[in-house]
Structure 1
Amino acid sequence: MIKFGIIGTNWITKQFIEAAQSIGWRLTSVYSRKIATAQQFAGQFGTTVNTYTDLPAFFDQGDFSVVYIASPNSLHFSQSQQALQAGKNVIVEKPSCSNPTEMKAIVKLLRQNPSLYYFEAARHFHEPLFKKVAQQIRKFAIIQGANLTYMKYSSRYDEFLAGAEPNVFSLDFSGGALQDLGVYLVYNAISWFGYPHQAIYYPQKLRNGIDGSGTAILTYPEFKVVLNLGKTANSYLPSEVYGLKETLLLDNPAELNKLTLMDELHQSQQIAAALPENPMLAEVRDFNEILLAPDKLSSKQQMEDWLAVSVQVNQLLAQLRHSAGITFPADEIAEV
């Protein structure tokens, strides 16, 4: 049985816990800055869950081998770093790091501690339909490009409009639409088409310089991929990948529920896959398979394959941000 601790007490943490418990994991430790918050959250999952407000104590005293980190983006790196230094395996929400400097430091730590595992929790990357998209794209004789759209009105945008600055709309916390929603689309582009030759981001910036929405253009040798993303409006457009005479339609590139292949005769074919009730279950199952067999060469190789994608995603996010003149305080740290 895998024992795990969590950092962060929001809805996504609850969803992860439910997915993990459904396959037999046991929650033992909860960290939050406020003890009342930690206790209230832990109380939903049993009386044997220990709570902490001191992070070193959480890692030193907590009875767990894996930590799930779902704190504000800017804290992901330092908390992951402390976890690895404490000998804990890490599952960290995307984006796992604010910039390539932080990512390089994580990779260095992993090389120094080869028995540890580190996963970026890009849930859609592990879903069956995500893999079906990749399979279908490989069948295209020619790829002519793609338009991927993920725009979802943020529940925190009203607060921002009222004058507050929620973490997700804060440069200090490495927020913004590209980091929060664009990361899904960047995962898609890297996984399905590889790393682009050129990448430019055209954001609509809010009053504090953060991007509320934007369009990224990724240029490949033979085609372009356009990413439309935003947290200040909703889009209901499907996304599309263009072959020669075929077009693949995705209902939502970040929350894949339905794929449709349109052929040259304009006839449609539905591409189906079993969808888990909990959207985080697929990734938890993948992580579980590796963590239950940590000494297998295939387990280590799988982590390395996923890590390579995470590194490229991190690099491309930074490249896009910098093309638009968006910098975070985290970027000012030369070495970590």
Structure 2
Amino acid sequence: MNLAVIGNGNIVQSALSALKPLKGITVQAICVRPQSIAKGEEIQKEYDIPRLFTDYDTLLNDPDIDFVYIGIVNLLHYAYTKKALLAGKNVILEKPSCIHASEIKELAQIAVERHLYLFEAVTFLHNTFFETVRQTLAKIGNIKIVQCNFSKYSSRYKQYLSGNVHPVFDPKFAGGTLLDLNIYNINFVVSLFGMPEKTVYFPVKGHNGIDTSGIAVLSYPTFVAECTGAKDSDSPGFMQIQGENGWIKIEGAPDNFKALHLCINNKLETTSLITERHRMADEFTDFLTIYEHDDFDRMRYYLGISINVCTVAEACLDYVKF
């Protein structure tokens, strides 16, 4: 897999750190905006990337690149991904996939029609412990309550309060907590249980109408899921599923899972999730395996999750109304 990374933000640098020790994926290039060329050169040197582009179209015309990793502001995900797919490139797209479900559906259709690979980068969906959670669900009996919390006080929140608004807090760039942190919680619930019957979002809005925190409530026929996300306050992260015969709890936030607790009929088992392996390594390894084995059905399975999650997130955004 010959990969080009698009962007120069924190998530791109995290991805490059994860990719560095992996075999089978070669980072061939990085593409940044002309005004960010100094930062691009710094990243290029640090990660020993052969080429630096400041024009996206030129990069897409390079025959030596078969995959692009898109780690830019949310609002541009759709346009950049569509352009890459139409240029014949496979795409790894940072979450959230898109702002509107119609957009990710269109991108999925283009990918399928052209037999191109399109992945949304949601870390824990590709961790082995997540499959353990899925397989254990039946053992805890009928599900009654699901709770998730990913709250992380943003390093940019004080600047936001003073009027210095970064993209992550800017409605013009589709910022906000829902699409940044709470999207992980929604992924967790929807990937395990499918589409809810009803979705309601209770946002806490900042001075420009952005959701600095909020709670999404996803209603299913026999249980309710509560997804809490915050960038204006802190809390220990967790994901918890309660059933009639027991419970499952993942301790820690998606960027720092610590332990998996399984309690069935009052018998508790705990597995450490602390590892030296980079938190993003498993997803890239999985993408590579799917690509090398031409497992198109597996790719379509993940795209189905992306479409469902985007549909739920879009329903939540109706309650923000910037």
Alignment partner of 1:259: what SS? strand
Deviates more, 1:10-19 or 1:187-196: 10-19
Partner of 1:73: 74
Partner of 1:130: 130
Partner of 2:222: 222
Partner of 2:3: 4
Partner of 1:16: 15
Cα distance in 1 for residues equivalent to 2:61 and 2:29: 11
Matches within 5 A, 1:111-150: 111-114=112-115, 116-150=116-150
Partner of 1:331: none
Contact 2:206-2:212 within 8 A present in 1 as well? yes
* Equivalent residue in structure 1 for 2:321, among 301, 323, 326: 326
Cα distance in 2 for residues equivalent to 1:26 and 1:198: 43
Cα distance in 1 for residues equivalent to 2:109 and 2:296: 15
Contact 2:139-2:245 within 8 A present in 1 as well? no
Q: Which amino acid aligns with 1:23?
A: L
RMSD between aligned residues: 1.7
Q: Which amino acid aligns with 1:212?
A: T
Evaluate the alpha carbon distance shift between residue 248 and residue 91 of structure 1 in structure 2; reply closer, same or farther with a 3 A threshold: same
Q: Tell me whether 1:42 sits opposite 2:44 in the alignment.
A: yes
* Equivalent residue in structure 1 for 2:303, among 301, 307, 320: 307
Contact 2:29-2:51 within 8 A present in 1 as well? yes
TM-superposed deviation, 1:237: 5.7
Q: Which amino acid aligns with 2:224?
A: K
Evaluate the alpha carbon distance shift between residue 226 and residue 262 of structure 1 in structure 2; reply closer, same or farther with a 3 A threshold: same
Q: Which has the higher strand share?
A: 2
Cα distance in 2 for residues equivalent to 1:64 and 1:184: 29
Evaluate the alpha carbon distance shift between residue 54 and residue 62 of structure 1 in structure 2; reply closer, same or farther with a 3 A threshold: farther
Cα distance in 1 for residues equivalent to 2:42 and 2:277: 25
Cα distance in 2 for residues equivalent to 1:167 and 1:184: 19
Evaluate the alpha carbon distance shift between residue 273 and residue 233 of structure 1 in structure 2; reply closer, same or farther with a 3 A threshold: closer
TM-superposed deviation, 1:37: 2.1
Cα distance in 2 for residues equivalent to 1:261 and 1:326: 39
Deviates more, 1:126-135 or 1:14-23: 14-23
TM-superposed deviation, 1:128: 1.6
Q: Which amino acid aligns with 2:191?
A: S
Deviates more, 1:61-70 or 1:119-128: 61-70
Matches within 5 A, 1:1-336: 2-24=1-23, 25-33=25-33, 34-46=36-48, 49-61=50-62, 63-114=64-115, 116-236=116-236, 238-252=238-252, 254=254, 255-265=256-266, 267-272=267-272, 275=275, 277-294=277-294, 299-322=295-318, 324-326=319-321
Alignment partner of 1:257: what SS? strand
Cα distance in 1 for residues equivalent to 2:171 and 2:308: 22
TM-superposed deviation, 1:291: 1.9
Alignment partner of 2:61: what SS? helix
Cα distance in 1 for residues equivalent to 2:258 and 2:198: 30
Evaluate the alpha carbon distance shift between residue 223 and residue 253 of structure 1 in structure 2; reply closer, same or farther with a 3 A threshold: farther
Cα distance in 2 for residues equivalent to 1:50 and 1:236: 40
Partner of 1:334: none
Which whole-Å deviations, capped at 9, do the CAs of 1:289-332 have from their partners, x for residues lacking one?
Answer: 122233xxxx000000000000000100001111x1435xxxxx
Structure 2 unaligned segments of length 5 or more: list them. Answer: none
Cα distance in 2 for residues equivalent to 1:138 and 1:56: 49
Contact 1:29-1:49 within 8 A present in 2 as well? yes
Contact 2:148-2:237 within 8 A present in 1 as well? no
TM-superposed deviation, 1:236: 1.8
TM-superposed deviation, 1:16: 1.6
Number of aligned residues: 318
Which whole-Å deviations, capped at 9, do the CAs of 1:5-28 have from their partners, x for residues lacking one?
Answer: 000112321222232232222211
Structure 1 unaligned segments of length 5 or more: list them. Answer: 328-336
TM-score (norm 1): 0.90
Q: Which amino acid aligns with 1:287?
A: F
Deviates more, 1:311-320 or 1:271-280: 271-280
Deviates more, 1:15-24 or 1:285-294: 15-24
Alignment partner of 2:270: what SS? strand
Which whole-Å deviations, capped at 9, do the CAs of 1:176-195 have from their partners, x for residues lacking one?
Answer: 10000011000001112221
Contact 2:140-2:245 within 8 A present in 1 as well? no
TM-superposed deviation, 1:126: 0.7
Cα distance in 2 for residues equivalent to 1:79 and 1:30: 14
Contact 1:91-1:119 within 8 A present in 2 as well? yes
